[in-house]
Amino acid sequence: MPEVKSILREVLPKQGQLYMEDVPTMVLCKPKLLPLKSVTLEKLEKMQMEAQEAVKQQELAMKEQGQQMPS
């Protein structure tokens, strides 16, 4: 059976309007897991907790010094 190659020729209208409809389609991809807290936020929280602990230590030291003075 011989192969028949048909050549399609593009035809543009001489009258009227030519339009092309481009319909956007949704592309599904794998969901990305995002951390609840960013690394930067965790570092800032850690620094804040360390600063609060340092303040508490200083307050306790000040109270102990104040109690020792009147004696």
Give the pLDDT confidence of 11-62 residue by residue, as tens digits: 777 787 767 777 888 889 888 888 888 889 999 999 999 999 999 999 999 8
Q: What is the pLDDT of residue 47?
A: 97
Expressed in angstroms, the distance from the first to the final Cα of the chain is 117
Query: Higher confidence at residue 4 or residue 10?
Result: 10
CA geometry: angle 57, 62, 67, nearest 5 deg: 125
pTM: 0.44
Q: Span 1-17, mean pLDDT? A: 71
Buried-exposed string 4-42: b where 16+ CB fall within 10 A, e elsewhere: eeeeeeeeeeeeeeeeeeeeeeeeeeeeeeeeeeeeeee
Task: Please tell me whether residue 55 adopts helix, strand or coil conformation.
Answer: helix
